[in-house]
Chain A
Amino acid sequence: MIVFEKPKALADVKLHYCPGCTHGIVHRLVAEAIDELGIEGRTIGIAPVGCSVFAYNYFNCDMVEAAHGRAPAVATGVKRANPDNIVFTYQGDGDLAAIGTAETVHSAARNENITVIFVNNAIYGMTGGQMAPTTLPGQITQTSPYGRDTATVGYPIKVCELLSNVTGATYLERVAVNNVKNVKAAGAAIKKAFRYQMEGKGFSLIEVLSSCPTNWGLTPDKALEWLEQNMIPYYPLGVYKDRYAEGGAGK
Chain B
Amino acid sequence: MADKVLMKGNEALAEAAIMAGCRHYFGYPITPQTEVAAYLAKRMPKVGGTFLQAESEIAAINMVIGVASAGKRVMTSSSSPGISLKSEGLSYLAGCDLPALVVNVQRGGPGLGGIQPSQSDYFHATRGAGHGDFHMLVLAPASVQEMASLVFKGFDLADKYRMTAMILADGTMGQMMEPVSLDMGEVKQYDKSWAVTGTKGARPHNIVNSLSLLPEELEQWNLKRYEKYAEIEKNEVMYDSFMAEDADVIVVSFGVGARVARNAIVEARAKGIKAGLIRPITLWPFPKQALKAAAAHAKAFVSVELSMGQMIEDIELSIRCFRPVLLCRRVGGMIPTPEEVLAKIEEADKTGGNEA
- Where the two chains meet, the residues of A that have a C-beta atom closer than 8 Å to any C-beta of B are 40-44, 53, 56-57, 59-67, 70, 73-82, 85, 102-103, 105-106
Could you tell me if B211 and A73 are in contact, using CB atoms closer than 8 angstroms?
Answer: no
* Alpha-carbon gap, A57 to B206, bound state (A): 10
Q: What does the 1/0 interface line of B49-63 toward A look like (CB < 8 Å)?
A: 010101110111011
When distances are taken between beta carbons in the complex, the residues of chain B under 8 Å from A64 are 65-66, 69, 196, 207-209
When distances are taken between beta carbons in the complex, the residues of chain B under 8 Å from A63 are 196, 205-209
Looking at the complex, which one of B58, B62, B205, B211 makes contact with A60 (CB distance below 8 Å)? B205
Number of A-B residue pairs at CB separation under 8 A: 129
B43 at the interface (CB under 8 A from A): no
> Shortest distance in angstroms between B140's beta carbon and chain A's nearest beta carbon?
27
Top 6 A-B residue pairs of the complex, sorted by shortest distance between their CB atoms = A77-B66, A73-B62, A81-B70, A62-B196, A106-B55, A42-B198
Other than the given A62-B199, A103-B58, 14 more pairs (CB < 8 A) read A61-B205, A62-B206, A62-B207, A63-B196, A63-B207, A63-B209, A65-B96, A65-B210, A76-B66, A77-B66, A77-B70, A78-B70, A80-B63, A85-B198
* Alpha-carbon gap, A155 to B201, bound state (A): 45
* Alpha-carbon gap, A57 to B65, bound state (A): 19
Could you tell me if B52 and A41 are in contact, using CB atoms closer than 8 angstroms?
Answer: no
Q: Given A62-B206, A102-B56, A106-B55, are A78 and B66 neighbors across the interface (CB < 8 Å)?
A: yes
5 contacts between A and B (CB under 8 A): A41-B200, A53-B211, A65-B211, A77-B67, A77-B68
Q: Given A76-B66, A77-B70, A80-B24, are A103 and B55 neighbors across the interface (CB < 8 Å)?
A: yes
Q: Per DSSP, are chain A's interface residues mostly helix, strand or loop, or mixed? A: helix
* Alpha-carbon gap, A53 to B213, bound state (A): 11
When distances are taken between beta carbons in the complex, the residues of chain B under 8 Å from A75 are 66
Could you tell me if A70 and B206 are in contact, using CB atoms closer than 8 angstroms?
Answer: no
Could you tell me if B199 and A74 are in contact, using CB atoms closer than 8 angstroms?
Answer: no
> Shortest distance in angstroms between B88's beta carbon and chain A's nearest beta carbon?
6
B89 at the interface (CB under 8 A from A): yes
B64 at the interface (CB under 8 A from A): yes
Could you tell me if A56 and B209 are in contact, using CB atoms closer than 8 angstroms?
Answer: yes
Residue of B nearest to A110 (CB): B52
